[in-house]
Amino acid sequence: MKKTKKNMCGDKHLNPVLDTMGGRLWIMKNDDSKSHTRQATIDKCVLIQEAQGRGCLIPKTKRNERSPHEMETKDIAVTPRLDGRIVGGHKVNITDAPHQISLQTSSHICGGSLISKQWILTAAHCTEGRTPDRLKVRVGSSEYSKGGELIDVMEIVQHEKFNYSNVDYDYSLLKLAKEIEFDDTKQAVKLPETKDVAMDGTMCFVTGWGNTQNATESREWLRLAEVPIFNQEQCSDKYRKFGGVTDRMICAGYIEGGKDACQGDSGGPLVTEEGVLVGVVSWGYGCARPDFPGIYSRVSYVRDWIRTNTGV
Protein backbone atom coordinates (compact mmCIF):
# COMPACT_ATOMS: atom_id res chain seq x y z
CA MET A 1 0.00 0.00 0.00
CA LYS A 2 1.39 3.36 -0.95
CA LYS A 3 1.76 5.65 2.04
CA THR A 4 1.51 9.38 1.55
CA LYS A 5 1.70 11.93 4.35
CA LYS A 6 -1.02 14.54 4.13
CA ASN A 7 -2.00 17.40 6.40
CA MET A 8 -5.65 17.73 7.25
CA CYS A 9 -7.52 20.96 6.47
CA GLY A 10 -4.35 22.54 5.13
CA ASP A 11 -2.90 23.19 8.60
CA LYS A 12 0.74 22.19 8.94
CA HIS A 13 0.22 21.62 12.66
CA LEU A 14 -2.34 18.91 12.08
CA ASN A 15 -1.17 15.35 12.41
CA PRO A 16 -0.35 13.81 9.00
CA VAL A 17 -2.24 10.62 8.16
CA LEU A 18 -1.90 7.80 5.68
CA ASP A 19 -3.78 7.80 2.39
CA THR A 20 -5.52 4.41 2.13
CA MET A 21 -8.29 2.43 0.46
CA GLY A 22 -11.67 1.99 2.03
CA GLY A 23 -14.81 3.92 2.88
CA ARG A 24 -15.62 5.58 6.15
CA LEU A 25 -15.54 8.86 8.06
CA TRP A 26 -12.85 10.06 10.45
CA ILE A 27 -12.81 13.02 12.81
CA MET A 28 -9.30 14.12 13.73
CA LYS A 29 -8.12 16.67 16.27
CA ASN A 30 -5.20 19.06 15.91
CA ASP A 31 -2.05 17.40 17.17
CA ASP A 32 1.45 18.82 17.31
CA SER A 33 2.88 15.38 18.03
CA LYS A 34 5.44 14.14 15.52
CA SER A 35 4.50 10.54 16.22
CA HIS A 36 2.86 9.08 13.13
CA THR A 37 2.55 5.49 14.26
CA ARG A 38 -0.51 3.41 13.43
CA GLN A 39 -1.62 3.52 17.08
CA ALA A 40 -1.31 7.31 17.21
CA THR A 41 -3.42 7.53 14.08
CA ILE A 42 -6.08 5.28 15.58
CA ASP A 43 -6.12 7.22 18.84
CA LYS A 44 -6.62 10.54 17.07
CA CYS A 45 -9.13 9.40 14.47
CA VAL A 46 -12.76 8.48 14.49
CA LEU A 47 -13.48 5.31 12.63
CA ILE A 48 -16.82 4.33 11.20
CA GLN A 49 -16.08 1.72 8.66
CA GLU A 50 -13.81 -1.23 8.14
CA ALA A 51 -11.77 -1.47 4.99
CA GLN A 52 -8.44 -2.69 3.69
CA GLY A 53 -5.45 -0.64 4.74
CA ARG A 54 -4.73 1.55 7.73
CA GLY A 55 -5.05 5.19 8.65
CA CYS A 56 -7.35 7.89 7.34
CA LEU A 57 -8.41 8.75 3.84
CA ILE A 58 -7.93 12.34 2.76
CA PRO A 59 -9.57 13.07 -0.61
CA LYS A 60 -7.08 14.24 -3.20
CA THR A 61 -7.47 17.94 -3.98
CA LYS A 62 -5.69 20.43 -6.16
CA ARG A 63 -2.83 22.29 -4.61
CA ASN A 64 -4.00 24.91 -2.10
CA GLU A 65 -7.60 23.80 -2.64
CA ARG A 66 -9.56 22.71 0.43
CA SER A 67 -11.52 19.50 0.07
CA PRO A 68 -15.32 19.90 0.05
CA HIS A 69 -15.41 16.77 2.22
CA GLU A 70 -13.91 18.64 5.19
CA MET A 71 -15.85 20.39 7.93
CA GLU A 72 -13.92 22.43 10.46
CA THR A 73 -14.59 23.61 13.98
CA LYS A 74 -12.06 25.33 16.20
CA ASP A 75 -9.87 22.25 16.54
CA ILE A 76 -11.63 19.49 14.65
CA ALA A 77 -11.93 18.43 11.02
CA VAL A 78 -14.33 15.84 9.66
CA THR A 79 -13.07 13.90 6.65
CA PRO A 80 -13.76 10.56 4.97
CA ARG A 81 -12.33 7.71 6.97
CA LEU A 82 -11.91 4.22 5.76
CA ASP A 83 -10.43 2.00 8.42
CA GLY A 84 -12.19 0.18 11.22
CA ARG A 85 -11.93 -2.10 14.23
CA ILE A 86 -14.31 -4.22 16.25
CA VAL A 87 -14.95 -3.30 19.88
CA GLY A 88 -17.22 -5.35 22.11
CA GLY A 89 -18.60 -7.57 19.35
CA HIS A 90 -18.47 -11.27 18.51
CA LYS A 91 -18.36 -13.49 15.43
CA VAL A 92 -21.62 -14.55 13.79
CA ASN A 93 -22.60 -16.54 10.73
CA ILE A 94 -24.25 -14.93 7.73
CA THR A 95 -27.40 -16.92 8.61
CA ASP A 96 -27.68 -14.65 11.67
CA ALA A 97 -27.71 -11.57 9.41
CA PRO A 98 -28.62 -12.80 5.90
CA HIS A 99 -29.38 -9.23 4.78
CA GLN A 100 -25.72 -8.20 5.23
CA ILE A 101 -23.65 -7.66 2.08
CA SER A 102 -20.08 -6.63 1.31
CA LEU A 103 -19.62 -3.79 -1.18
CA GLN A 104 -16.33 -4.20 -3.03
CA THR A 105 -13.98 -2.70 -5.57
CA SER A 106 -10.78 -4.75 -5.64
CA SER A 107 -11.63 -5.71 -2.07
CA HIS A 108 -14.17 -4.90 0.65
CA ILE A 109 -14.94 -1.19 1.10
CA CYS A 110 -18.37 -0.95 2.74
CA GLY A 111 -21.32 -2.85 4.10
CA GLY A 112 -24.93 -2.70 3.04
CA SER A 113 -28.33 -4.38 3.37
CA LEU A 114 -30.41 -6.45 0.99
CA ILE A 115 -33.87 -4.84 0.76
CA SER A 116 -35.11 -7.01 -2.14
CA LYS A 117 -33.80 -9.61 -4.57
CA GLN A 118 -32.11 -6.89 -6.63
CA TRP A 119 -31.66 -3.80 -4.44
CA ILE A 120 -29.15 -2.85 -1.73
CA LEU A 121 -29.28 0.07 0.73
CA THR A 122 -25.91 1.48 1.77
CA ALA A 123 -24.33 4.86 2.66
CA ALA A 124 -23.87 7.64 0.10
CA HIS A 125 -20.32 8.29 1.21
CA CYS A 126 -19.55 4.72 0.11
CA THR A 127 -20.65 5.41 -3.47
CA GLU A 128 -19.59 9.06 -3.81
CA GLY A 129 -17.33 9.42 -6.85
CA ARG A 130 -17.75 5.78 -7.88
CA THR A 131 -19.40 4.27 -10.96
CA PRO A 132 -21.39 1.01 -11.12
CA ASP A 133 -18.85 -0.74 -13.34
CA ARG A 134 -16.24 -0.46 -10.56
CA LEU A 135 -18.43 -2.06 -7.89
CA LYS A 136 -19.40 -5.59 -6.94
CA VAL A 137 -21.52 -6.98 -4.11
CA ARG A 138 -20.83 -10.21 -2.23
CA VAL A 139 -23.96 -11.81 -0.80
CA GLY A 140 -24.53 -14.93 1.26
CA SER A 141 -21.12 -15.23 2.93
CA SER A 142 -19.75 -14.78 6.47
CA GLU A 143 -16.41 -13.80 4.91
CA TYR A 144 -16.03 -10.80 2.65
CA SER A 145 -13.19 -12.33 0.64
CA LYS A 146 -14.80 -15.60 -0.44
CA GLY A 147 -17.94 -17.68 -0.49
CA GLY A 148 -21.49 -16.77 -1.37
CA GLU A 149 -21.95 -14.99 -4.67
CA LEU A 150 -20.17 -11.95 -6.14
CA ILE A 151 -22.54 -9.87 -8.30
CA ASP A 152 -22.00 -6.83 -10.53
CA VAL A 153 -23.71 -3.51 -9.77
CA MET A 154 -25.68 -2.05 -12.69
CA GLU A 155 -27.01 1.18 -11.15
CA ILE A 156 -26.30 3.59 -8.29
CA VAL A 157 -29.07 5.83 -6.96
CA GLN A 158 -27.38 8.19 -4.52
CA HIS A 159 -29.60 10.54 -2.53
CA GLU A 160 -29.70 13.87 -4.35
CA LYS A 161 -29.45 15.82 -1.08
CA PHE A 162 -26.36 14.02 0.21
CA ASN A 163 -24.06 16.54 1.89
CA TYR A 164 -20.50 15.33 2.48
CA SER A 165 -19.63 18.29 4.71
CA ASN A 166 -21.99 17.19 7.49
CA VAL A 167 -22.77 13.65 6.25
CA ASP A 168 -26.49 14.45 5.95
CA TYR A 169 -28.77 12.34 3.72
CA ASP A 170 -26.15 9.58 3.77
CA TYR A 171 -28.15 7.07 1.69
CA SER A 172 -27.44 5.24 -1.54
CA LEU A 173 -29.27 2.47 -3.40
CA LEU A 174 -27.54 -0.14 -5.55
CA LYS A 175 -29.28 -2.20 -8.22
CA LEU A 176 -27.69 -5.59 -8.82
CA ALA A 177 -27.10 -6.86 -12.34
CA LYS A 178 -29.40 -9.80 -11.62
CA GLU A 179 -31.90 -10.96 -9.04
CA ILE A 180 -30.62 -13.27 -6.34
CA GLU A 181 -32.35 -16.37 -5.03
CA PHE A 182 -33.23 -16.14 -1.35
CA ASP A 183 -32.14 -18.89 1.04
CA ASP A 184 -30.95 -19.05 4.66
CA THR A 185 -27.83 -16.99 3.78
CA LYS A 186 -29.58 -14.34 1.66
CA GLN A 187 -32.74 -12.56 2.78
CA ALA A 188 -34.20 -9.06 2.48
CA VAL A 189 -34.33 -7.06 5.70
CA LYS A 190 -37.64 -5.57 6.85
CA LEU A 191 -38.00 -1.84 6.18
CA PRO A 192 -39.71 0.59 8.56
CA GLU A 193 -42.55 2.88 7.54
CA THR A 194 -42.20 6.66 7.50
CA LYS A 195 -44.14 7.05 10.74
CA ASP A 196 -42.13 4.41 12.62
CA VAL A 197 -39.97 5.68 15.49
CA ALA A 198 -37.34 3.61 17.29
CA MET A 199 -37.80 4.41 20.97
CA ASP A 200 -34.89 5.29 23.27
CA GLY A 201 -33.35 2.15 24.72
CA THR A 202 -34.54 -0.12 21.92
CA MET A 203 -31.90 -2.84 21.53
CA CYS A 204 -30.44 -3.20 18.06
CA PHE A 205 -27.81 -5.25 16.28
CA VAL A 206 -25.03 -3.77 14.15
CA THR A 207 -23.01 -6.08 11.93
CA GLY A 208 -20.01 -5.80 9.65
CA TRP A 209 -16.41 -6.71 8.96
CA GLY A 210 -13.67 -4.86 10.80
CA ASN A 211 -10.40 -4.92 12.67
CA THR A 212 -10.57 -6.04 16.26
CA GLN A 213 -8.41 -4.80 19.10
CA ASN A 214 -6.87 -8.26 19.07
CA ALA A 215 -4.22 -8.31 16.37
CA THR A 216 -4.43 -12.12 16.11
CA GLU A 217 -8.09 -12.08 15.06
CA SER A 218 -9.06 -12.09 11.40
CA ARG A 219 -10.95 -9.10 9.99
CA GLU A 220 -12.58 -11.23 7.32
CA TRP A 221 -15.30 -12.84 9.43
CA LEU A 222 -18.64 -11.13 10.06
CA ARG A 223 -19.12 -9.70 13.56
CA LEU A 224 -22.06 -8.36 15.54
CA ALA A 225 -22.64 -6.12 18.55
CA GLU A 226 -25.76 -5.08 20.44
CA VAL A 227 -26.35 -1.36 21.00
CA PRO A 228 -29.39 0.57 22.29
CA ILE A 229 -31.01 3.56 20.59
CA PHE A 230 -29.62 6.71 22.24
CA ASN A 231 -31.73 9.75 23.12
CA GLN A 232 -31.71 12.09 20.10
CA GLU A 233 -31.58 15.36 22.05
CA GLN A 234 -28.72 14.17 24.25
CA CYS A 235 -26.86 12.82 21.24
CA SER A 236 -27.19 16.10 19.34
CA ASP A 237 -25.93 18.00 22.36
CA LYS A 238 -22.84 15.80 22.63
CA TYR A 239 -22.11 16.25 18.92
CA ARG A 240 -22.83 19.98 18.90
CA LYS A 241 -19.18 20.91 18.27
CA PHE A 242 -19.27 18.65 15.19
CA GLY A 243 -22.35 20.36 13.79
CA GLY A 244 -24.97 18.38 15.68
CA VAL A 245 -27.32 15.63 14.57
CA THR A 246 -30.00 16.18 11.91
CA ASP A 247 -33.46 14.61 11.60
CA ARG A 248 -31.98 12.18 9.07
CA MET A 249 -29.72 10.73 11.77
CA ILE A 250 -30.30 8.32 14.63
CA CYS A 251 -27.85 7.52 17.44
CA ALA A 252 -27.09 4.18 19.07
CA GLY A 253 -24.59 3.14 21.72
CA TYR A 254 -23.83 3.24 25.43
CA ILE A 255 -23.14 6.36 27.50
CA GLU A 256 -20.21 4.47 29.05
CA GLY A 257 -18.92 3.35 25.65
CA GLY A 258 -17.59 -0.15 25.09
CA LYS A 259 -19.62 -1.06 22.00
CA ASP A 260 -20.14 1.05 18.90
CA ALA A 261 -20.94 1.27 15.21
CA CYS A 262 -17.30 0.81 14.39
CA GLN A 263 -18.01 -2.87 14.53
CA GLY A 264 -20.03 -2.37 11.37
CA ASP A 265 -18.87 -1.05 8.06
CA SER A 266 -20.17 2.22 6.76
CA GLY A 267 -23.37 1.48 4.90
CA GLY A 268 -24.02 -1.54 7.08
CA PRO A 269 -27.25 -2.32 8.94
CA LEU A 270 -28.57 -1.30 12.36
CA VAL A 271 -31.45 -3.72 12.93
CA THR A 272 -33.92 -4.08 15.80
CA GLU A 273 -34.55 -7.37 17.60
CA GLU A 274 -37.68 -7.65 15.44
CA GLY A 275 -35.52 -7.53 12.31
CA VAL A 276 -36.41 -4.00 11.17
CA LEU A 277 -33.69 -1.89 9.53
CA VAL A 278 -33.70 1.39 11.46
CA GLY A 279 -30.26 2.75 10.57
CA VAL A 280 -27.35 2.74 8.11
CA VAL A 281 -23.85 3.01 9.63
CA SER A 282 -22.68 6.56 8.88
CA TRP A 283 -20.29 8.43 11.20
CA GLY A 284 -19.25 9.28 14.77
CA TYR A 285 -16.45 10.41 17.07
CA GLY A 286 -14.02 7.79 18.28
CA CYS A 287 -14.65 4.09 18.54
CA ALA A 288 -16.86 3.08 21.47
CA ARG A 289 -15.88 6.26 23.33
CA PRO A 290 -17.87 7.22 26.44
CA ASP A 291 -20.44 9.98 25.75
CA PHE A 292 -20.22 9.58 21.95
CA PRO A 293 -22.65 7.01 20.48
CA GLY A 294 -22.41 5.97 16.85
CA ILE A 295 -24.48 7.91 14.32
CA TYR A 296 -26.58 6.18 11.68
CA SER A 297 -28.71 7.40 8.79
CA ARG A 298 -32.38 7.07 9.79
CA VAL A 299 -34.11 4.71 7.34
CA SER A 300 -37.71 5.70 8.13
CA TYR A 301 -36.98 9.28 7.00
CA VAL A 302 -36.36 8.13 3.40
CA ARG A 303 -38.90 5.30 3.22
CA ASP A 304 -40.85 7.04 0.45
CA TRP A 305 -37.62 7.78 -1.45
CA ILE A 306 -36.69 4.09 -1.29
CA ARG A 307 -40.14 3.05 -2.50
CA THR A 308 -40.12 5.57 -5.36
CA ASN A 309 -36.73 4.43 -6.66
CA THR A 310 -36.99 0.69 -6.13
CA GLY A 311 -40.66 -0.22 -5.85
CA VAL A 312 -39.83 -1.90 -2.52
Question: Is pLDDT above 80 for 256?
Answer: no
pLDDT band for position 284 (50/70/90)?
confident
pLDDT value at residue 57? 31
Q: Would you call 266 a catalytic residue per the annotation?
A: yes
Question: Among 69, 99, 108, 125, which one carries the catalytic annotation?
Answer: 125
Average pLDDT over every residue of 110-125: 98
Calpha distance 119→75 (Å, rounded):
40
Question: Is pLDDT above 60 for 278?
Answer: yes
Q: Is 252 part of a structural domain of the chain? A: yes
Average pLDDT over every residue of 265-284: 94
Question: Is pLDDT above 70 for 78?
Answer: no
Question: Among 31, 83, 168, 170, which one carries the catalytic annotation?
Answer: 170
Q: Is 38 part of a structural domain of the chain? A: no
Which of 82 and 279 is assigned the larger pLDDT? 279
Please state the φ and ψ torsions of residue 92, each to the nearest 5 degrees: -140, 165
Q: Is 13 part of a structural domain of the chain? A: no
Number of compact structural domains in the chain: 1
Contact between residue 232 and residue 250 where contact means Cβ atoms under 8 Å apart:
yes
Q: Is 50 part of a structural domain of the chain? A: no
This prediction has a pTM of: 0.76
Cβ burial of 29 (10 Å; 0-12, 13-18, 19+) is middle
Q: Is 173 part of a structural domain of the chain? A: yes
Question: Among 172, 266, 282, 300, which one carries the catalytic annotation?
Answer: 266
Q: Would you call 184 a catalytic residue per the annotation?
A: no
For 171-225, write each residue's pLDDT tens digit.
Answer: 999 999 999 999 999 999 999 999 999 999 999 999 998 655 455 556 688 999 8
Q: Is 17 part of a structural domain of the chain? A: no
pLDDT band for position 243 (50/70/90)?
confident
CATH of the domain at 117: 2.40.10.10
Q: Is 92 part of a structural domain of the chain? A: yes
Residue 219 lies in domain: 86-310
For 79-112, write each residue's pLDDT tens digit.
Answer: 333 334 445 678 899 999 999 999 999 999 999 9
Which of 52 and 123 is assigned the larger pLDDT? 123
Q: Would you call 170 a catalytic residue per the annotation?
A: yes
